């Protein structure tokens, strides 16, 4: 597998989106359109940066 940072980030975004979609499907009772719009809001770069700010204090040096 290519270990270029952008390739790894691209793969990571796909994994994260799958986890978000799975969570929404299991926990939200709404239309597929609403699920999609919610997933898009949670998976974009600015939302990911916000989540990182929340968990950053809990990460050890290796995780950072």
Query: Taking a C-beta distance cutoff of 8 angstroms, is the pair 23, 35 a contact?
Result: no
Identified catalytic residue from 11, 13, 17, 25: 13
Active site residue 13: yes
**Residue 4, Cα to own-chain centre: how many angstroms?**
20
Query: Taking a C-beta distance cutoff of 8 angstroms, is the pair 43, 16 a contact?
Result: yes
Would you name the residues annotated as active-site residues? 13
């Amino acid at each position: 597998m290519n270990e270029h940072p952008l390739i790894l980030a691209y793969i990571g975004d796909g994994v994260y989106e799958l986890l978000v979609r799975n969570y929404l499907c299991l926990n939200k009772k709404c239309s597929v359109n609403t699920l999609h719009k919610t997933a898009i809001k949670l998976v974009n770069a600015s939302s990911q940066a916000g989540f990182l700010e929340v968990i950053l204090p809990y990460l050890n040096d290796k995780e950072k």
